[in-house]
Amino acid sequence: MDARLPKEVEDARTAIFVKGTHTGEVLNVVMRDLMALKRPNAISFSKKNPIHPFDSNTTSISSLEFWAGKNDASLFLVGQTTKKRPNGLTFVRMYDGQVLDMMEVGVDNFAGMDSFKTPKSTPGHKPLMHFASELFDTHPRYIQLKSMLMDFFNGEVVDSICLPGLEHVISVTCAPTPASLNNAPVNMYPNQHPSAPEDVSSLPKIHIRTYTTRLLSSGTRIPRVELTPMGPNLDLSLRRHKAADPELLKQAMKRPKVKKVDIESGLGKKKKNLEVDEMGDLRGRVHVGKQDLNKLQTRKMKGLKGGDLDAEDEESDEEQEDETPRKKRRKQA
């Protein structure tokens, strides 16, 4: 039970692969191959489950939340094939035992791991991820997709990694952006207008490819990389989705307070004029305003006093006298 308590730096998310009421031949293989990539943080529910995450009339959401609690998992991949939506995969992400956001994709084309007679990656090794398209920075649907896939395969924060252990690449590329998507203003909050359903057909397809890497010597420290297709290869199209509740997302995005040592080593909000010297001491620079040399008090001599200056000097003397007792009084109080 202690292992399930919240941690500051979280472990990799565990994903549960759930089969819906009907999964076709394609989806079975897709889920098996995706699970091979996700292992060892994957749990398979091989029996059929009446799960319809987007149908709010059913108890699907509460079932998902129950499973998440039971298995200490925070990701779901639900496979479901229907006549209306063939070969649908639903990614569900949880936060604190509640559903955070959901995303449904349809599998249009698929080539499994078996169809490539090439070396495969070792289970448990972290993949490298590659996203290519400007939509991953601009379109909310694709931002969600990127975030979801990163969380799915690579969400664990590690402080060091063994470089020879990097074996495979998951590459996510969009089809060319259609002109309609480039020009039309993007509706940032499609969830707020459920009456007008989104036109998903205009959204470009997504190609997920997996490769293994081969490192060739280049004569420099950095090797040259060559890729070999590994499989599974998926062509996906976006379907329904549910964006995260802003309030819940805000909670989920909270970061732990940055420790003092980390701030000194340059993490977090950049502190100006602070640096750590070789001895590990924190040194600061203080800005002192430019000195006005005209007001510099030089040695007073009677001979130097003019008529006007004299008057000013007396005034300033009086001021000084005024100030000093006030300071004393304050100290006493």
103 counts as binding other proteins under rule CB under 8 A: no
Residue with tokens 């590690």: 158
Stretch that binds other proteins, among 245-253, 282-290, 292-300, 301-309 (CB under 8 A): 245-253
What is the footprint of other proteins within residues 253-312 (CB under 8 A)? 253-256, 267
Q: Report the alpha-carbon distance of residue 259 to residue 289 in Å, rounded.
A: 32
DSSP 95-106: ETTEEEEEEEEE
What is the footprint of other proteins within residues 125-144 (CB under 8 A)? 126-134, 136-137
Q: In the set 6, 197, 280, 307, which binds other proteins (CB under 8 A)?
A: 6
Residue 125 phi, psi (nearest 5): -85, 145
Count of chain residues binding other proteins (CB under 8 A): 71
- The radius of gyration of the chain's CA atoms, rounded to the nearest angstrom, is 31
What is the biggest distance separating any 2 CA atoms in the chain, rounded to whole angstroms? 108
Per-residue binder mask for other proteins (CB under 8 A), 12-51, x = binder? -x--------------------------------------
Closest CA to 168 of 117, 255, 228, 222: 228
Of residues 21 and 218, the one with the C-beta less far from other proteins: 218
Q: In the set 55, 96, 319, 323, which binds other proteins (CB under 8 A)?
A: 96
A 10 A CB-CB count for 150 gives 14
- Report in angstroms how near the CB of residue 74 gets to other proteins at its nearest: 4
Q: Report the alpha-carbon distance of residue 291 to residue 332 in Å, rounded.
A: 32
Of residues 129 and 200, the one with the C-beta less far from other proteins: 129
Of residues 80 and 212, the one with the C-beta less far from other proteins: 212
